[in-house]
Amino acid sequence: MQCEVCGGEIRGKPVEVVVEGSEIKVCQKCKRFGMEVEKWKPYRRKISPEKKTLVMRKRSTPKIEIIEEVIPDFNMIIKRERERRNWTQEKFAKKINEKVSLIGKIERGEMVPEPKVLKKIEQLFNIKLTERIRDIEISPKGKEISPTLGDIAVIRKK
């Protein structure tokens, strides 16, 4: 099933959250945009029918921003790709014209490579180390941005 906020495929159990009075099913990442249904239940009982209509009418489309983020297990992927080619860290460092110490830090996950280094690694191994995630800001006066199908694709390698 798909997440109703980011449109991405939900792995595992969907989380039911309440966003501005509506219950929706979202992925683990998007649950922070709403209040978990269990926590919301005590409030829901207090809302009278008239008030509920008001809440519904005030509902607006969240403002969606797409940002690129380095995937959490980037270091494992880089290490795996290097080992697959039987390269030493030295050889890998030379290929991308960076210091061996930097490679070590990256592979241990001690640091996130800066964008230009990331690009070099991506091109070298022909892999993707970033994913597009949506940052959603819920504001009642926010302009409506409808996501297109292309925006929904979440790039993620396991």
Binding site for Zn ion (CB under 5 A): 3, 5-6, 27, 30
Q: How far is the CB of 28 from Zn ion (least distance, A)?
A: 8
CB of 65 or CB of 90, closer to Zn ion = 65
CB of 5 or CB of 103, closer to Zn ion = 5
Q: How far apart are CA 151 and CA 154, in angstroms?
A: 8
CB of 3 or CB of 64, closer to Zn ion = 3
CB of 5 or CB of 71, closer to Zn ion = 5
Contact 93, 103 (CB under 8 A): yes
Q: How far is the CB of 16 from Zn ion (least distance, A)?
A: 13
Q: How far is the CB of 15 from Zn ion (least distance, A)?
A: 9
Q: How far apart are CA 71 and CA 46, in angstroms?
A: 41
Closest CA to 64 of 27, 20, 102, 33: 33
Taking the chain, what is the end-to-end CA distance rounded to the nearest angstrom?
18
Q: How far is the CB of 6 from Zn ion (least distance, A)?
A: 3
- Provide the residue type at 116 as one letter: K
